[in-house]
């Protein structure tokens, strides 16, 4: 199994190089992308099985023992998130093959998409703080290029905000790594787990909070989220969808990983719970104020991040299990919603609630495809979002944190309100006679796009049906997170 | 391209360019034991192309580097990744270095490790990036 | 840690931040570059006092910590690549709008106006 | 029992698929699911009525407490039978009511899906499972109210219903989780058998009551129900009179026996809310001229009645509640169907345009009159013995200060009910002021048949209450173990309850006769804003609030975004640093004079970049900073780093020049003085923070760094003397791999940005 561990990082990188060389052979690029991501998905599943049996799979890159070489770790949490992410990457790639916006720039899209996949996998699997920085950069650089795919004026304008904010966050990340190294003399996370615990609490907490801010920018938590709704909606749909599903979750992952592995002695945290509540509220209010599908959905990303952070703030097994479950569900649901948003734009020529109405009468299937993830997002039963929210509500009540539970329930209602705004605006009403999308629309392959979307919607239902086993493994993952010693013992030679 | 281009500069660059490239390769090889390495080597080679650019704009760069920069970048990335995979395929872990001995003409047998081809990959990518920038941002066609 | 160097790092951060908080993309890029210099210097300082270059040559004496140097080198090169991209973005923005001013987000401004009651839905 | 729910789901999918082909007949296909349910329930009935409930459980996510546990007891049998039985009738009715159209398949699918969900609520024996089905009914109700989605009013009404009932549902979920945690189980039967008494039970029940009140349209949440009448009549008949709105009542009925006495606020709250709703609904129903709205307010009133009865939580009361629940479903569904027929055949349902319909539609009128008479509580009809029972309980007393309130309230509410029942029957069918000769054609058999069945049942149960007793008594016993011995009877003798009934009907007659005076009085008495206006204002506030908050935090300006990020990054850690960080013991200002000199120059260059007004000058200063830092690297003992820094800086300068040559020489725009000061302040804060943090962090170091290992292993194990290079290409080669990937992608991105044609060039 150890042998498989670098695969999700290395295979896409190799394939990206190859894909770059196949610049003019779009078909080969597609086949390569699908094959590689399929293989990586298989490898991830194998890793998950192994991680769940043995607790964690670890390997030392280059064969150098722990603090010297870089550690790769797939514990239950990492493996779970990895599997879901790779499945999304694969599904969205299928969608992208049918999507006109990405078809027009296939030569750039395919290699860079693979690099993004490598960066995401690297961020999940690395056990080294500086390598996490590098993985982030790999992922982010790829995201810059994907965000500006096509180079339209809007994209360039919003990409400036996105790139500058990301660069500032990266600089802060380097700052944090430098300060942590100054205080501890290591960057290996397992090693850090030991050494940070020996620091005086004030310095340790200051370092922990700086890192929280760094990852918080990527995760788009309050008050660091503004860049997201401005930049995401302008990219081509598949790009927005995969950003929405994965990138912020990488940030959340890093927050959870760092706070549990590096700074476990400082939680549970009222500050984090406050951030969680504020993130939920501000995000959903932002969504209510919007009038464009993709912008509404973008604000919901923020709002939903609040739920995941809430699980961390509780800092109990139940809370973290809820957070893990929420992440898994949300990756699927959010990606689906954006893909549906793209299909709406394709069918109606616009994603604005002011221009599109009555789609239900033209494409009932699309309406169903929207309804499933939308209700799931609002946490309504019997969809996956319900189980996820239930887990968090239970955990919150268990920990006597009633205020944040109350906020989470109110936000749930507001989310529902905002979803009905899309539903009533776009799907209900007299069918609008807007022309189909203009340039490049003819090149679209709608069955491919719809198929990928339907598959993901089915995935959301599958998570709901399998809520029992999924929650159980989330719970085991959460228990691991709260006992960092397990991981430390596996990584550091004794 | 530029009509008023300086002949002296042109001659100077013609002389310096190959020297700089050789120096870059030297830095690459020396890197494992003395200051240098793939990055530094690549940057020096990149600087050499900058000189060509100063001399004759992006056309001159195009003439100096016949290969597409995409190819340089792609080859470099693939080279580094494949080097990493060698140890892995041999049953070790990924990026595990292996000892190599290469017979070089004039210099005799050099003992090194698989990190050398890795470093060469690094160098190619850096050179590729610089050439790419010179050929795109440096191009005059987008006034 | 050497106080003067720490102060230099602080000064670089301050100058970088000052440049960053403006609307001209050129200044923002310069600001980010100054910040990056500060961060790299900080990384090096994290290794402790100065020493001989970390090259194994059998001589005795204090050797500078090599790890931060390697990390800083990586950070420098990454920052270089990303800055190149950002400059290309500025280049394209210039071609599209003939300037490199970072504009406010259009939708955001509209909602803010609406909240102030200046326009209606 | 799970199989029944799944059957409904299957029927829904089938209806969706066949809607286009079958047209309205698709409802008959959909009716199969409730029909099978009726059969199945009837098959289980003998055992259940004997007091042997049927249990069934399927583990869904047990560690989350999600267990699909079902339990069919007497009460579930009563309500479930109503849900399924009326479901069949409504579907038959709908097959004649709807015209062929694209929405037919959707309507049938949603209706049968709803029936399944409703059955789920009734059969579920698990709090969380109840919530699951509860919200499913909210969603299907939303989609059904809005089925005529081209009408703006339908969309708005659907949203109103969803927000109120969905919101209540969320409160209820909170309550369920609290209650479940206090009890240690979510299994309803276990909780009721051994009610928990912890400190959180009170709040839990308060939240659950909010859910029940919203769903059952209790004051002050009742506003959504009249609005929901914009749905086609079969839907109103089924969801908004006979079934869904009873979900809240159902829940109260389940919980009251265990908690009404134990939780102090339960009885007064539920009773007062119920009575208020009963009176308010009846009062409003007296005024409406739209027959459907009249019935809707009547439903609100009757729901208040049932809430009151069940809310008391004592056996007699519960028994009366169960009886009313049954009879109300019979007459109210029939009345709605009749309104649909009138609307369908006469083209209007406005009392002002209707009258003497018995001539044109004799059978319909007969059905209507019987149902209305049952509603009014006249003898020999089903509601009469039930209401008698309720009055009996009310006059029996034993609830302290609530006794007089209950007695007066129930009689008053019944009087109002009688009044609007008369108004309904008289105004449209018997007399009627409009007296417009209507040319209505007789309705189709499938339209009238179901209403006929229901009215016939009203008569049968009225004449022979013992029939009703067969199901009502086991239902009450399922809720209250000690409810045995209570029975419905046709004639109790001349009791105080009979007198109360007579008073109620008598006052009802007076109110009916003086109906115009009542309407005038109503107009004068309107003090409270209508519930729908309150809702509308709340939504407007919410929208405006969302705009305000979003306009404030999401202001679209990059400098502000960056400023907030930076300040957050400083403030959060700074609090801890100031509180407990310690500065180093030994201070080394500088190691060599050279170092001091270079730092000064570097700082100078940094200031230069900040103040330069020309782009090129700023870039040159930036170069100065870069070279200065490179020299510092050399002094520090990092030749590789310095070399790289020199070269990168040079190349960066070149790129800057390449881009800047197209831009104006000077920076444009001069920002305001205030923003200038603000920027300086943020810059200063960040600078001081980083310096301080660096010193504190370095002072906190206790052990050696891991680099000892690198120095030791570099030559012997990795074969290189230059440790930095060995780290880059060997120890940490995967970093380097990532790094060149960044370079490669950046190169690709630069090429894409520069080479892609600029379409919208201005």
pLDDT tens per residue, range D273-327: 999 999 999 998 988 889 999 999 999 999 999 999 999 999 989 999 999 999 9
Please, are residues D289 and D351 in contact by the beta-carbon 8 Å criterion?
A: yes
Question: What angle separates helix A26-54 from helix A76-98, to the nearest 10 degrees?
Answer: 160
Q: In a 3-state reduction of DSSP, which class is residue B7?
A: helix
Which subunits count as partners of chain D given 3+ CB pairs below 8 Å?
Answer: A, B, C
Q: Which of D582, D694, D709 sits opposite A67 (nearest CB)?
A: D709
Confidence of residue A437 (pLDDT cuts 50, 70, 90): very low
Determine, yes or no, domain membership for B11: yes
Question: Looking at CA atoms only, how far is residue D435 from chain A in angstroms?
Answer: 38
Cβ contacts from A onto C, under 8 A: 98
- CB under 8 Å to A116, separation ≥6 — which residues? A89, A139, A142, A143, A146, A242
State the alpha helices, DSSP H only, in D286-314.
Answer: 291-312
- Residues of C with CB below 8 A from D594's CB? none
- CB under 8 Å to D682, separation ≥6 — which residues? C17, C18, C21, D563, D566, D567
Q: How far apart are CA D336 and CA D280, in angstroms?
A: 20
- Prior bond of A223 cis (ω within 30°): yes
pTM of the predicted protein model: 0.93
Q: What is the pLDDT of residue D323?
A: 93
Place of tokens 């196949």: A22
The two three-digit tokens of residue C64, written as one number: 């500078």
For D53, phi then psi, to 5°, come to -65, 155
Distances (CA, A) of C101 to C93, C98, D559, D565: 9, 9, 12, 20
pLDDT tens per residue, range C14-62: 999 999 998 888 889 999 999 999 999 999 988 888 788 888 877 777 8
State the alpha helices, DSSP H only, in D377-444.
Answer: 383-396, 402-425
Determine contact: D584 vs chain A, CB below 8 A. no
Residue ranges of chain B whose CB lies within 8 Å of a chain C CB: 33-35, 39, 126, 129, 133, 136-137, 142
- Region at B93 (left for phi over 0; alpha for psi -120 to 50; beta for the rest): beta
End-to-end CA distance of chain B: 15
- Residues of A with CB below 8 A from B95's CB? 6, 61-62
Q: How far apart are CA D411 and CA A68, in angstroms?
A: 86
Q: What is the pLDDT of residue C120?
A: 55
Closest chain D CA to residue C82: D746
- Taking only residues 92 to 131 of chain B, the set having a beta carbon closer than 8 angstroms to any beta carbon of chain D reads 94-95, 97, 99, 111-113, 115, 118-119, 121-122, 125-126, 128-130
Determine contact: C98 vs chain B, CB below 8 A. no
Say whether D729 and B33 touch across the interface (CB within 8 A): no
- Taking only residues 76 to 95 of chain B, the set having a beta carbon closer than 8 angstroms to any beta carbon of chain A reads 77-78, 81-82, 84-85, 87-88, 92-95
Please, are residues A84 and A466 in contact by the beta-carbon 8 Å criterion?
A: no
Closest CA relative to residue D302, chosen from D348, D241, D362, D254: D241
Cβ contacts from C onto D, under 8 A: 324
Please, are residues D656 and C91 in contact by the beta-carbon 8 Å criterion?
A: no
Confidence of residue A443 (pLDDT cuts 50, 70, 90): low
pLDDT tens per residue, range A138-155: 999 999 999 998 888 888
Q: What is the pLDDT of residue D582?
A: 75
Q: What is the pLDDT of residue C57?
A: 77
Q: What is the pLDDT of residue A473?
A: 95
Consecutive H or E run containing C12? helix C3-20
Domain boundaries, chain C: 3-53+64-115
End-to-end CA distance of chain C: 58
Q: How far apart are CA D61 and CA A465, in angstroms?
A: 9
Closest chain B CA to residue D643: B40
Domain boundaries, chain D: 2-513, 588-669, 703-762
Q: What is the pLDDT of residue B1?
A: 44
Q: How far apart are CA A383 and CA A363, in angstroms?
A: 22
The two three-digit tokens of residue C21, written as one number: 């908080």
Please, are residues D622 and C34 in contact by the beta-carbon 8 Å criterion?
A: yes
Question: What is the residue range of B94's domain?
Answer: 7-142
Question: Looking at CA atoms only, how far is residue A449 from chain D in angstroms?
Answer: 22
Q: Which of A133, A156, A179 sits opposite C93 (nearest CB)?
A: A156
pLDDT tens per residue, range A32-43: 999 999 999 999
Q: What is the pLDDT of residue A441?
A: 47
Say whether B142 and D741 touch across the interface (CB within 8 A): no
Closest chain D CA to residue C95: D761
Q: What total number of domains does chain B contain?
A: 1
Determine contact: D699 vs chain B, CB below 8 A. no
- Residues of A with CB below 8 A from B86's CB? none
Average pLDDT over residues D464-479: 90
Question: Looking at CA atoms only, how far is residue A28 from chain C in angstroms?
Answer: 27
Please, are residues D252 and D212 in contact by the beta-carbon 8 Å criterion?
A: yes
Domain covering C3-53+64-115, topology = Helix Hairpins (1.10.287)
Cβ contacts from A onto D, under 8 A: 314
Confidence of residue B99 (pLDDT cuts 50, 70, 90): low
Say whether D603 and C17 touch across the interface (CB within 8 A): no
Determine contact: C82 vs chain B, CB below 8 A. no
Q: What is the pLDDT of residue D669?
A: 62
Residue D757 has pLDDT above 80, yes or no: no
- Residues of A with CB below 8 A from C86's CB? 163-164, 167
Q: What is the pLDDT of residue A301?
A: 94
Question: What angle separates helix A317-348 from helix A364-377, to the nearest 10 degrees?
Answer: 160
Tell me, what DSSP letter sits at residue A247?
A: I
Determine, yes or no, domain membership for B59: yes
Average pLDDT over residues D230-259: 91
- Taking only residues 575 to 604 of chain D, the set having a beta carbon closer than 8 angstroms to any beta carbon of chain C reads 584, 587-591, 595-596, 599, 602-603
Mean pLDDT of chain D: 88
Distances (CA, A) of A34 to A88, A100, C35: 12, 18, 40
Question: Looking at CA atoms only, how far is residue D562 from chain C in angstroms?
Answer: 7
**Burial classification of residue A159, based on how many CB atoms lie within 10 Å of its CB (0-12 exposed, 13-18 middle, 19 or more buried):** buried
Q: What is the pLDDT of residue D762?
A: 38
Query: Comparing D326 with D488, which gets the higher pLDDT?
Result: D326
Determine contact: D212 vs chain C, CB below 8 A. no
- Residues of A with CB below 8 A from C79's CB? 167, 170
Determine what percent of chain D is predicted with pLDDT higher than 90: 48
A107-111, C70-74, D704-708: least confident range? D704-708
Q: Which of D662, D722, D737 sits opposite B80 (nearest CB)?
A: D737
Average pLDDT over residues D125-139: 94
Determine what percent of chain D is predicted with pLDDT higher than 70: 97
pLDDT tens per residue, range D204-235: 999 999 999 999 999 889 889 988 888 899 99
Q: Which of B72, B78, B79, B113 to mutate to test the interface with A (most CBs of A within 10 A)?
A: B78
Please, are residues D584 and C1 in contact by the beta-carbon 8 Å criterion?
A: yes
């Amino acid at each position: 199994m150890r042998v498989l561990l670098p695969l999700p990082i290395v295979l896409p990188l190799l394939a990206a190089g190859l894909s770059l060389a196949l610049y003019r052979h779009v078909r080969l690029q597609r086949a390569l992308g699908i094959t590689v991501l399929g293989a990586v998905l298989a490898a991830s599943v194998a890793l998950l099985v192994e991680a769940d049996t043995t607790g964690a799979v670890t390997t030392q890159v280059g064969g150098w023992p722990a603090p010297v070489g870089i550690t790769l770790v797939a514990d239950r949490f990492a493996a779970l998130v990895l599997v879901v992410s790779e499945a999304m990457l694969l599904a969205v790639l299928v969608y992208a093959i049918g999507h006109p916006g990405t078809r027009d720039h296939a030569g750039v899209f395919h290699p860079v998409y693979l690099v993004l996949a490598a960066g995401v996998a690297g961020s999940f699997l690395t056990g080294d703080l500086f390598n996490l920085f590098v993985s982030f950069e790999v992922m982010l650089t790829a995201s810059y290029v994907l965000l500006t795919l096509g180079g339209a004026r809007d994209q360039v304008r919003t990409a400036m905000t996105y790139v500058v904010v990301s660069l500032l966050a990266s600089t802060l990340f380097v700052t944090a790594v430098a300060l942590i190294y100054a205080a501890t003399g290591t960057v290996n996370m397992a090693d850090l787990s030991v050494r940070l615990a020996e620091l005086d609490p004030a310095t340790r907490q200051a370092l922990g909070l700086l890192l929280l801010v760094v990852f918080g920018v990527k995760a788009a938590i309050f008050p660091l989220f503004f860049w997201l709704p401005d930049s995401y909606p302008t990219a081509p749909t598949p790009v927005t969808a995969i950003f929405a599903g994965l990138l912020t979750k990488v940030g959340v992952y890093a927050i959870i990983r760092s706070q549990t592995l590096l700074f476990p002695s400082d939680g549970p945290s009222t500050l984090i719970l406050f951030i969680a509540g504020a993130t939920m509220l501000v995000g959903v209010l932002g969504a209510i104020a919007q009038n464009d599908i993709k912008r509404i959905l973008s604000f919901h990303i923020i709002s939903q991040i609040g739920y995941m952070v809430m699980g961390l703030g509780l800092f109990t097994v139940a809370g973290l299990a809820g957070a893990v479950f929420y992440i898994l569900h949300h990756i699927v649901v959010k990606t689906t919603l954006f893909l549906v948003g793209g299909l709406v734009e394709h069918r109606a020529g616009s994603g604005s609630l002011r221009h599109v109405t009555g789609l239900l009468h033209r494409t009932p299937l699309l309406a169903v495809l929207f309804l499933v993830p939308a209700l799931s997002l609002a946490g309504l039963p019997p969809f996956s979002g319900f189980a996820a929210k239930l887990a968090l509500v239970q955990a919150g009540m268990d920990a006597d944190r009633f205020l944040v539970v109350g906020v989470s329930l109110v936000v749930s209602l507001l989310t529902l309100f905002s979803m009905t705004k899309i539903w009533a605006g776009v799907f209900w009403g007299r069918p609008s006679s807007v022309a189909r999308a203009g340039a490049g629309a003819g090149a679209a392959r709608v069955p491919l796009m719809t198929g990928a979307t339907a598959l993901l919607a089915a995935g959301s239902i599958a998570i709901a049906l399998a809520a029992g086993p999924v929650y159980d493994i989330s719970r085991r993952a959460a228990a691991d997170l709260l006992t960092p010693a397990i991981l430390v013992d596996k990584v550091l030679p004794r | 391209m530029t009509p008023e281009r300086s002949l002296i500069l042109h001659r100077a660059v013609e002389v310096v360019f190959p020297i700089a490239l050789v120096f870059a390769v030297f830095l690459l090889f020396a890197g494992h034991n003395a200051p240098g390495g793939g990055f530094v080597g690549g940057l020096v080679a990149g600087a050499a192309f900058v000189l060509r650019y100063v001399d004759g704009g992006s056309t001159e760069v195009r003439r100096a580097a016949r290969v597409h920069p995409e190819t340089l970048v792609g080859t470099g990335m693939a080279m580094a990744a494949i080097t990493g995979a060698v140890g892995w395929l041999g049953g070790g872990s990924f990026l595990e270095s292996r000892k190599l001995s290469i017979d070089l003409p004039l210099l005799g047998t050099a003992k090194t490790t698989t990190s050398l081809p890795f470093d060469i990959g690094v160098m190619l990518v850096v050179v590729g990036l610089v050439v790419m920038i010179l050929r795109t941002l440096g191009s005059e066609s987008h006034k | 840690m050497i106080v003067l160097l720490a102060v230099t790092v602080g000064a670089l951060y301050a100058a970088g931040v000052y440049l960053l908080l403006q609307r001209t993309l050129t200044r923002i890029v310069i600001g980010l570059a100054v910040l990056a210099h500060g961060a790299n210097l900080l990384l090096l300082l994290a290794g402790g006092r100065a020493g001989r270059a970390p090259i194994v040559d059998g001589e005795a004496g204090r050797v500078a910590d090599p790890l931060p140097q390697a990390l800083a080198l990586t950070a420098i090169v990454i920052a270089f690549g990303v800055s190149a991209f950002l400059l290309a973005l500025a280049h394209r923005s210039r071609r599209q709008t003939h300037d490199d001013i970072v504009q406010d987000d259009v939708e955001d401004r509209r909602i803010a106006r609406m909240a102030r009651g200046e326009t209606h839905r | 029992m799970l199989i029944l729910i799944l059957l409904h789901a299957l029927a829904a999918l089938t209806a969706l698929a066949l809607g286009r082909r079958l047209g309205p007949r698709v409802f008959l296909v959909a009716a199969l699911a409730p029909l099978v349910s009726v059969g199945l329930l009837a098959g289980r009935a003998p055992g259940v009525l004997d007091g042997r409930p049927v249990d069934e459980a399927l583990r869904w996510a047990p560690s989350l407490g999600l267990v699909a546990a079902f339990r069919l007891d007497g009460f579930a049998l009563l309500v479930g039978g109503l849900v399924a039985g009326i479901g069949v009738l409504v579907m038959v009715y709908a097959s004649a009511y709807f015209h062929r159209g694209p929405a037919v398949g959707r309507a049938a699918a949603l209706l049968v899906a709803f029936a399944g969900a409703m059955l789920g609520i009734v059969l579920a024996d698990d709090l969380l499972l109840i919530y699951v089905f509860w919200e499913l009914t909210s969603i299907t109700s939303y989609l059904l109210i809005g089925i005529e989605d081209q009408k703006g009013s339908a969309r708005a009404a659907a949203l109103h219903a969803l927000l109120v009932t969905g919101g209540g549902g969320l409160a209820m979920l909170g309550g369920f989780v609290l209650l479940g945690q206090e009890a240690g189980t979510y299994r309803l039967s276990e909780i009721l058998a051994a009610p928990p008494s912890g400190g959180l039970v009170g709040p839990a029940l308060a939240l659950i009551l909010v859910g029940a009140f919203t769903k059952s349209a209790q004051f002050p949440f009742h506003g959504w129900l009249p609005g929901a009448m914009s749905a086609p009549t079969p839907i109103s008949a089924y969801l908004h009179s006979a079934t869904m709105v009873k979900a809240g009542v159902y829940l109260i009925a389940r919980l009251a026996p265990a908690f009404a006495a134990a939780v102090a606020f339960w009885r007064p709250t539920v009773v007062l809310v119920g009575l208020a709703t009963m009176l308010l609904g009846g009062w409003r129903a007296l005024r409406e001229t739209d027959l459907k709205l009249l019935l809707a307010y009547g439903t609100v009133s009757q729901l208040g009645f049932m809430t009151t009865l069940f809310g008391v939580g004592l056996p007699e009361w519960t028994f009366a509640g169960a009886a009313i629940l049954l009879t109300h479903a019979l007459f109210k569904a029939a009345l709605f169907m009749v309104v649909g027929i009138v609307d369908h055949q006469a083209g209007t349902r406005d009392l002002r345009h209707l009258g003497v319909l018995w001539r044109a539609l004799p059978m319909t009128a007969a059905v209507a009159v019987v149902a209305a008479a049952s509603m009014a509580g006249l003898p020999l009809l089903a509601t009469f013995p039930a209401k008698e029972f309720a009055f009996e309980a009310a006059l029996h007393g034993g609830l302290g200060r609530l006794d007089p309130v209950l007695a007066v309230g129930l009689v008053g509410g019944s009087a109002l009910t009688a009044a609007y029942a008369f108004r309904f029957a008289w105004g449209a069918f018997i007399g009627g002021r409009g007296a417009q000769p209507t040319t209505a054609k007789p309705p189709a058999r499938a339209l009238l048949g179901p209403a006929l069945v229901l009215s016939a049942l009203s008569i049968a149960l009225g004449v022979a209450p013992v029939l009703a007793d067969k199901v009502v008594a086991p239902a009450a016993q399922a809720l209250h173990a000690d409810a045995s011995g209570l029975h419905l009877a046709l004639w109790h003798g001349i009791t105080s309850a009979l007198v109360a009934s007579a008073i109620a009907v008598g006052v009802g007659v007076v109110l009916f006769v003086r109906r115009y005076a009542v309407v005038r009085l109503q107009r004068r008495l309107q003090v409270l804003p209508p519930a729908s206006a309150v809702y509308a204002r709340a939504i407007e506030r919410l929208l405006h609030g969302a705009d305000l908050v979003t306009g404030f935090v999401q202001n679209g300006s990059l400098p502000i975004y960056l400023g907030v990020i930076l300040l957050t990054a400083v403030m959060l850690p700074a609090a801890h640093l100031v509180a407990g960080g310690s500065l180093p013991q030994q201070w080394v200002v500088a190691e060599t004079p050279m170092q001091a000199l270079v730092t000064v120059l570097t700082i100078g260059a940094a200031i230069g970049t900040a103040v330069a007004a020309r782009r090129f000058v700023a870039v040159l200063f930036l170069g100065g900073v870069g070279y200065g830092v490179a020299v510092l690297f050399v002094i520090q003992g990092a030749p590789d780093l310095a070399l790289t820094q020199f070269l990168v800086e040079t190349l960066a300068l070149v790129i800057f020049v390449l881009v800047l040559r197209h831009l104006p020489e000077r920076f444009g725009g001069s920002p305001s003085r205030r923003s200038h000061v603000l920027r300086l302040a943020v810059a200063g804060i960040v600078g001081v923070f980083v310096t301080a943090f660096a010193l504190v962090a370095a002072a906190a170091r206790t052990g050696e760094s891991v680099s000892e290992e690198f120095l030791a292993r570099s030559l012997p194990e990795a074969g290189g003397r230059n440790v930095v290079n060995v780290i880059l290409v060997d120890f940490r080669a995967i970093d380097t791999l990532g790094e060149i990937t960044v370079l490669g992608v950046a190169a690709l991105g630069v090429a894409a940005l520069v080479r892609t044609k600029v379409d919208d060039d201005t």
